[in-house]
A and B are shown apart, each in its own frame.
Chain A
Amino acid sequence: MKTFHARMRFGSAACSLAVLMLAACGGGSSGGGLGSGDLLVGVLAPFSGADAGLGPAYYAACLAAAPAINNNGGVGGRQVKCQQFDTRGEPADAAPAASAMVAGNSNLMAVVGCTSDEASAVAPIVDKAHIPMFCMTGQSEFNKTNLKYFHRLVPADIYDAYAMVGWALYGPSPAPFHKAALVFGNDIGSQAFVDPATNAFTKLGGQVKNFPITLGASDYRTEVTQVIAYKPDVIFTEALGSAGTFLGEYKTLNGGTVTPFIGTSATIDPQWFKQVSDAIGVDNLVKNYGGVDLGYTFSGPAYTEFQTNLNAAAAQFADAPKYKQRGSTLHLYDGIIMSALAMVATNSHDPTVYNSKIKEIANGVSGATVVHTYKEGVDALKANKSIKFEGAGGANSFDDHNNSVAGYVLVKYDATGGEVKVQELTPDQTAKISQAGGI
């Protein structure tokens, strides 16, 4: 009997200990386990102000990613929700918005957005709070960032600039061009294109002049007159939100004709297409526009699921389906799913634990199973496999500073606003431009 009682006491103590350990694992502050309650993705971006068009594209990404996760068991049963945090596109508004977001939401699993307008102001705040972030900024200050929680799934602006130079020098007819006018906003983010493009184009024999414009101005006639007087044979531009006004006035003051123009990857956008085609006409846009892009396939299982969820998101946000071919929407969708997979892979809701796993899942390790959806990823993880996620935006390759770099293609628009690939830059051409650009 004594032995029986002793065994019972030992058993009770062991069970109690096990219960305590499980409780600790389940939701304690140690970070072990996936916890309970809803998880939040903060969409920290401009939803008002001059760049109000950016935030909705990122919000759409989150609305599409959430059901991809939630309909497949969530993150250990936890449902993912999306919330907008408006930066107004101004660092002065963005910093308090980021601080409030971090302070008021202990269940943040990731932050997406942080454009060039506000990334410098908000990235350190989010990093200090140890929340993984996926930023849509091309600023060169993040090329070698030491912020551990910063991730960038799009190339830095310098690569966009080099790709534009590639279009001008090696693209299809009427290229090659020899005299370029650079028309970008006079803000720090937009001007990031100027130096690399100038260096590369001039060292490879071209002539170039910068014509900075104030984005959001009501007219640019004097600026346009100066550009016309320079007589460029090509214009490099982005001018988000103002391209319609600028190019419309250019056409008017240039006797009804438009000089060929090459846009950044951000100009591959249905709204940009509409704005510019309204201003100069579809025929002029199709004939004279060249763009650079990251070679999305817009097909495959990851993209199919993305598009299905994006269409379903129209119930919450009517414009969501419009972003089906927007690079930033694809990438941020992937970023959220990779964060969720990293949580599952580490069995932790603690960002200090799962943050480093995001890079591993994106780049993959030797022998990793390639997965395209959250469900495939979870199934593979349950089978104790290591995974490499190739999502709607394609494969990623993070460097030591969490910048993912991919190759460029040269594209044009068709008359309906669809993207048409016309050429790919060869590795030799890319190397030559990068060398000339000095990076």
Chain B
Amino acid sequence: MSIFAAAFGFGLVSMSVIAIAAVGFTMQFGITNMINLAYGQVMISSAYVAYYINRAGITIWVGMIAGAFFGAAFSFLLNRLVYAPFQRKGTSYLGMVIVSLAVSLMIANLLLPIVGYFSVSYSEHAGSLVRLGDIVLTNNQIAIIALSVAVMLGIHALLRYTRLGKAMRATAANPTLARNCGIPTQRVIDMVWLITGALCGLAGVVAALNSDSFVISSGAGFLITALAAAVLGGAGQPYGAMIGAVIIGLVTELSAAAWSPEYKEVVAFGILVLVMVLRPQGLLAKRGALAAAG
């Protein structure tokens, strides 16, 4: 068995999980101008919602839909009740980052007494193994890859071929001009929080399913990888986040196979640093979907 082929297969799964999270995160930033550091906590909260549904004997695939709905509602309310009032008061960009960090800590500490300190697992059979040469994947992992591809195509279609997508791009490019042109930017922003929140919730459940067990502190890890992929691809650029996810997902697993697993994250973040040095704006900063609508 080639360890590299196997690692490539695992990399495909990792990048699929990261892509869903990173695209949601970067769209949120690109359109609402908000670096939401509570994103990882919303992900893990959604994962727990799915866990409780799954524990009631309902399949995790239903739990996944519920997690996406929960993520959407939670993110929408988070913006309406916390972020938007601060933004209306003219809180600085850095101030909003600190607010989101505070929200993140509050969610984590509120969750702790509810869900407990310990790892939990979905009671969902991983499914039989599928072998493609030396690549070995479970049915669940193949479903995750397929789901991720479908979500990416859906996001592409939304941004390119729908009125809402065009309105989002216009709002991202210049909210004042968009408003003056008759685009209901507030409603667009609400929709963005709902959509990206749904992606966030979906990503949380998918990440938890991909990991055989998860714990409340997993949220911080989810955020770091999503953030890394988003920054690598160019902050605010959904297609860039997709590319960032591919690089982070594959490099971590392949470097683990080639070198040592304990340094796989070092290698991935080393590449991130290198890209930031050579191209600070990220890989797709000027050609992304949320660049000026045209």
Report if B245 contacts A (CB, 8 A).
no
Query: How far apart are the CA atoms of A53 and B215 in the complex, in Å?
Result: 10
Report if B218 contacts A (CB, 8 A).
yes
Q: CB distance B212 to A229 under 8 Å?
A: no
Q: CB distance B213 to A252 under 8 Å?
A: no
Surface stretch bound by A, among B31-39, B119-127, B191-199: B119-127
What residues of B have a CB within 8 angstroms of the CB of A417 in the complex?
none
Contact of A48 among B112, B123, B222 (CB under 8 A): B112
What residues of A have a CB within 8 angstroms of the CB of B109 in the complex?
48
* Per-position 1/0 for B201-243, Cβ under 8 A of A: 0000001001111111110011001000000000000000000
Q: CB distance B261 to A53 under 8 Å?
A: no
What residues of B have a CB within 8 angstroms of the CB of A271 in the complex?
117-119
| CB-CB contacts below 8 Å: B255-276 with A | 256-257, 260-262, 264-265
Report if B108 contacts A (CB, 8 A).
yes
Given contacts A53-B118, A186-B262, contact A252 B129 (CB under 8 A): yes
Report if A219 contacts B (CB, 8 A).
yes
Report if B7 contacts A (CB, 8 A).
yes
* A185 nearest CB across to chain B (Å): 9
Q: CB distance A223 to B261 under 8 Å?
A: yes
Q: CB distance B216 to A52 under 8 Å?
A: yes
Query: How far apart are the CA atoms of A226 and B218 in the complex, in Å?
Result: 24
Beta-carbon nearest neighbor of A255 in chain B: B129
| CB-CB contacts below 8 Å: A20-74 with B | 48-50, 52-53, 56
Contact of A213 among B17, B112, B221, B262 (CB under 8 A): B262
Query: How far apart are the CA atoms of A361 and B109 in the complex, in Å?
Result: 40
Report if A18 contacts B (CB, 8 A).
no
Given contacts A53-B118, A212-B261, A222-B6, contact A275 B256 (CB under 8 A): no
Query: How far apart are the CA atoms of A274 and B123 in the complex, in Å?
Result: 13
Surface stretch bound by B, among A121-129, A166-174, A242-250: A242-250
What residues of B have a CB within 8 angstroms of the CB of A278 in the complex?
119-121, 123, 213
Q: CB distance A244 to B261 under 8 Å?
A: no
Contact of B10 among A214, A219, A248, A319 (CB under 8 A): A219
Q: CB distance A244 to B256 under 8 Å?
A: no
Q: CB distance A274 to B118 under 8 Å?
A: yes
Beta-carbon nearest neighbor of A187 in chain B: B262
Given contacts A48-B108, A50-B217, A225-B6, contact A214 B261 (CB under 8 A): yes
Give the contact-size bracket for chain B: 35 or more
Q: CB distance A245 to B261 under 8 Å?
A: no
* B161 nearest CB across to chain A (Å): 33
Q: CB distance B262 to A214 under 8 Å?
A: yes
Q: CB distance B210 to A219 under 8 Å?
A: yes
Report if A217 contacts B (CB, 8 A).
yes
Q: CB distance B108 to A217 under 8 Å?
A: no
Query: How far apart are the CA atoms of A229 and B2 in the complex, in Å?
Result: 10
What residues of A have a CB within 8 angstroms of the CB of B123 in the complex?
278
Q: CB distance A222 to B256 under 8 Å?
A: yes
* B132 nearest CB across to chain A (Å): 14
What residues of A have a CB within 8 angstroms of the CB of B221 in the complex?
216-218
Report if A391 contacts B (CB, 8 A).
no
Query: How far apart are the CA atoms of A427 and B212 in the complex, in Å?
Result: 40
* A267 nearest CB across to chain B (Å): 13
What residues of B have a CB within 8 angstroms of the CB of A229 in the complex?
1, 3
Q: CB distance B129 to A222 under 8 Å?
A: no
Report if A351 contacts B (CB, 8 A).
no
Among B1, B120, B212, find the residue whose CB has the most chain A CB atoms closer than 10 A. B212
Report if A241 contacts B (CB, 8 A).
yes
Beta-carbon nearest neighbor of A240 in chain B: B119
Beta-carbon nearest neighbor of A278 in chain B: B121
Q: CB distance B207 to A52 under 8 Å?
A: no
Report if A253 contacts B (CB, 8 A).
yes
Q: CB distance A253 to B136 under 8 Å?
A: yes
Q: CB distance A218 to B264 under 8 Å?
A: no
Report if B294 contacts A (CB, 8 A).
no
Given contacts A48-B109, A229-B3, A274-B118, contact A222 B212 (CB under 8 A): no
Query: How far apart are the CA atoms of A222 and B210 in the complex, in Å?
Result: 14
Report if A398 contacts B (CB, 8 A).
no
* A270 nearest CB across to chain B (Å): 9
Q: CB distance A275 to B261 under 8 Å?
A: no
Report if A320 contacts B (CB, 8 A).
no
19 pairs from A and B in contact (CB 8 Å cutoff): A48-B109, A52-B216, A186-B262, A211-B261, A218-B211, A218-B221, A219-B13, A221-B10, A221-B253, A222-B264, A225-B7, A226-B261, A229-B1, A245-B119, A271-B118, A275-B118, A278-B213, A279-B212, A279-B213
The 9 closest A-B pairs by CB, nearest first: A248-B212, A244-B213, A278-B121, A222-B256, A218-B211, A221-B10, A275-B119, A186-B262, A53-B117
Given A48-B217, A226-B3, A245-B214, 20 other A-B residues pairs in contact with their CB atoms under 8 A? A48-B109, A52-B216, A52-B217, A213-B261, A216-B218, A216-B221, A219-B14, A222-B6, A222-B10, A222-B257, A222-B264, A245-B119, A245-B212, A248-B121, A248-B126, A253-B129, A253-B136, A255-B129, A275-B120, A278-B123
